[in-house]
Amino acid sequence: MRIYLDYNATAPVAPGVADAVCRVLTDEPGNPSSIHAFGQRAKARLDDARAGVAALIGAAPSDVVLTGGGTESINLALRGACDALADSGRRHLITSAIEHEAVLMTLTVLERVGWRVTRLPVGRSGLVSPADLAAALGTDTALVSIMHANNEIGTVQPVAELAALAKSRGALFHTDAVQSAGKMSVQVQPLGVDLLSVSGHKFGAPKGTGALWIRRGVRLVPQQTGGRQERSRRAGTENTAGLAGLGVAARHAAATMADAAPRVTALRDQLEASILRDVPGTTVNGDRDARVPNTTNISFDGIEAESLLIALDLEGIAISTGSACSSGTLEPSHVLQAMGLPAARTRNALRFSLGPATTDADIRTVAAKIPALVDKLRRLTRRVVEVR
Amino acid sequence: MRVVVAMSGGVDSSVAAALMAEAGHEVIGLSMQLYDQRATVDGAPAFGSCCSLDDLHDARRVAHQIGIPHYIVNFEREFKATVVNNFVSEYAAGRTPIPCVHCNADLKFATLAERAAGLDAAAVATGHYARVHYDEELRRYRLLRGVDGGKDQSYFLFTLTQDQLAHALFPVGHLSKPDVRAYAERLGLSVADKPDSHEICFVPDGNTATFVERQLAAAPPSGEIVNSDGQVLGEHGGLHHFTVGQRKGLGLSTGKPMYVLKLVPAEQQVIVGAREELGGLTLDATGVNWIAGTAPDGPTRVTARIRHRHQDAPATVQSSGTGTAHLVFDAPQTAITPGQAVVFYQGEDVVGGGWIR
């Protein structure tokens, strides 16, 4: 029996999602853009999905663009906004050092074509300081992009405060809510952002689905051109089956969150407490209060994270570190580096990310196995050092 | 038993993994990530083709095909600290290094073996053409040449200690290369007809000098090319461009073919001469490892190999101190090259080896 504690990588589909996908695939062959009955039925499924996502984030359905995933949403938000503001005289972008690669790489590309990019530092607990943002904002700042919850450490940024600062200086604010939407309450109005990116598969929708919420009145230049789908903001025939699954997953997350979030939080805290208690030389990385319910990131002194990850996988327990390089191996985390942690702690950190299906028994099994595995790896490391 | 197989994505280690799995062992495939494959210098790849992303994907595919778990372990720091740094400093010191031995000694049978022990694996298997076996009478492990004489890789394994040999397996060592390929084909392994790797795997386009220069903070100094009488024949752009026995690339017009005889780092000199002057009878080795664990008493008759593609020649070797040995060939050998390994054999057995000084 395998135990899956890598929900920040992806989650199994939520109840009802697989059925909904199959039903659309078999029963709704139409193209949502077609005028006939087939098209109308397909379009209705799409509208339904859009309403589901909108309800999850407290938005109007017409402001939600359905996309092919979180990375696409982020690309559309950042590139689309920059293209729209190209002649505004504003040429400055602000982000944080701990963003997901989807944001960091996209901004690096924009930097190459003439945008100036400021990457804000984070404190030891992974939080962006509003004072730093205030100091970085200039009269030519076009857009600020700061993530809601971090994928590696789960730290939740003070987005409402940061967005208000950006707004006061006339800059747009985008937040990457890929790791928070569906796991905790994410409501666009109180957050006060202009653009918010969501990925479906992180909360039980099929992979290859996502959404971008665009505040009414904010202009974006489409990044994928062609047909007039998604109100001309995203060309291409829609993935009706996958997006129907997204709608179901969003509704399910919204309906169960009040129960699921505290339960997942309690299990996460239980796992964290046992590891900290039973394994000497362990430290939680990131802010322990401002945190998404399902994530804990723990450094284990004196071991390589890679070794513990493999040892746990051989025991049937799937966990992760936050970042993987092109070959799939671990590299020192840019998030933990940005937090100013010593080099060793950026290489010995493991991420446990729980989900709605995680059970008390899962957590007890994992908590019971870890101390002995860590102990063995540490003894081995010490022996090797002595030999040398 | 649980066994870790070091999988490079090539056909030999793929078949090694398949053989171990077929023998009923619980096999875990590990592939070493040795450098950042995306790294570039002036737009060109900073490293060569070994352990490229394609190779890692090949290893992953093969592992899936034979139904074993597979992981890629990040040894970038270790590879740089041991293999690459040694490679560069040896060239800078006027020697011709052989990084494959360090890769085996310092990575596969050291760091990787540590990881394997951490996973409760009893042994590390590799795709080397060599054999290891426990001799009940001698009460120790013996390291033997691979059965396929043309592919034998025992030369690259001379550093292995008894403890390392006790945890080493070479599943293809008793096979010929055609057998290995045929086996891979029979299993339908995707790598069955993948070409063998050649040259120094991490150096792009075989351009060693450029690689060394990029790794060094300052370019190695230039100097003079002289003959054995000390007469200056020309100039050179750094000792790292040369190896003993080299004929091409000297840029001399002396009428007759000239060969590099010796590199003198203290003077930054390249000494050249005629082919007849390349022969040498004796050598001294450092970093000597004796497979038996202790040096033989007194002069010992062996055949000695002074580079991978050298036909081992009769010689007498004698330990000359801790980790050093003196060797006398029966007949002169062409281009005894400092930095290369000398490996001593008795028949099929590897007796020991060291680094030519």
**Cβ A329–B114 below 8 Å, yes or no?**
no
Contact (CB, 8 A) for A171 and A143: yes
d(CA B127, CA B172) in angstroms, rounded, equals 6
What's the pLDDT score for residue A384?
47
CA distances to A281, A343, B266, B288 from A384, rounded to whole Å, are: 19, 20, 37, 21
What's the pLDDT score for residue A336?
95
Per the prediction, chain B carries an average pLDDT of 92
Nearest CB neighbour to A329, from listed B38, B74, B118? B74
Helices B85-92 and B208-215 meet at what angle, rounded to 10?
A: 100
pLDDT tens per residue, range B269-288: 999 999 889 999 999 999 99
- What the block records as the tokens of B281 is 């009878």
**Cβ A306–B74 below 8 Å, yes or no?**
yes
Active site residue A325: yes
Fold agreement (B2-206, B221-273): no
Q: What is the ipTM of this complex?
A: 0.85
Strands B349-356 and B341-346: antiparallel
Please give the backbone phi and psi of residue A295, each rounded to the nearest 5 degrees, phi first.
-115, 135
Contact (CB, 8 A) for B1 and B26: yes
DSSP of A270-296: HHHHHHHHHSSSEEE-S-SSSB-TTEE
Cβ–Cβ contact A101 with B under 8 A: no
d(CA B356, CA B343) in angstroms, rounded, equals 10
DSSP of A290-316: SB-TTEEEEEETTS-HHHHHHHHHHTT
Nearest CB neighbour to A326, from listed B53, B76, B115? B53
Per-residue pLDDT of chain A (388 residues; tens, 9 = 90+): 899 999 999 999 999 999 999 999 999 999 999 999 999 999 999 999 999 999 999 999 999 999 999 999 999 999 999 999 999 999 999 999 999 999 999 999 999 999 999 999 999 999 999 999 999 999 999 999 999 999 999 999 999 999 999 999 999 999 999 999 999 999 999 999 999 999 999 999 999 999 999 999 999 999 999 999 999 999 999 999 999 999 999 999 999 999 999 999 999 999 999 999 999 999 999 999 999 999 999 999 999 898 999 999 999 999 998 666 555 666 778 999 999 999 889 889 999 999 999 999 999 999 999 999 999 999 887 554 444 3
Mutate to test the interface with B, among A308, A310, A385 (most CBs of B within 10 A): A310
Q: A384: which chain B residues are within 8 Å (Cβ-Cβ)?
A: 114
Closest by Cα among A175, A217, A205 to A49: A205
Q: What percent of chain B has pLDDT over 70?
A: 97
- What is the CATH number that goes with domain B280-356? 2.40.30.10
The H-assigned helical ranges of chain B are: 11-22, 53-66, 76-79, 85-92, 99-102, 112-118, 162-166, 177-186, 208-215
Which CATH architecture best describes the domain B221-273? Roll (2.30)
What's the pLDDT score for residue B53?
79
Contact (CB, 8 A) for B305 and B279: no
Is B41 a residue whose pLDDT tops 80? no
**Cβ A311–B118 below 8 Å, yes or no?**
yes
Is B261 a residue whose pLDDT tops 80? yes
Catalytic residues of B: 103, 201
Residues 6+ apart with CB under 8 A from A348: A299, A300, A301, A302, A303, A304, A305
Domain ranges of chain B: 2-206, 221-273, 280-356
Q: B115: which chain A residues are within 8 Å (Cβ-Cβ)?
A: 307, 310
d(CA B224, CA B221) in angstroms, rounded, equals 10
Strands B259-264 and B269-273: antiparallel
Contact (CB, 8 A) for A66 and A120: no
d(CA A278, CA A271) in angstroms, rounded, equals 11
What distance in Å separates residue B15's CA from the closest CA in chain A?
A: 22
Radius of gyration (C-alpha) of chain A in whole angstroms: 22
Sketch out chain A's domains with CATH numbers.
3-9+258-387 (3.90.1150.10), 17-252 (3.40.640.10)
**Cβ A310–B71 below 8 Å, yes or no?**
yes
Using the structure block, give the residue that is written with the tokens 């397909």: A42
Which CATH architecture best describes the domain B2-206? 3-Layer(aba) Sandwich (3.40)
Q: Which residue has the higher pLDDT, A382 or B300?
A: B300
Nearest CB neighbour to A311, from listed B38, B76, B119? B119
Strands A282-284 and A295-300: antiparallel
**Cβ B71–A325 below 8 Å, yes or no?**
no
Contact (CB, 8 A) for B101 and B159: yes
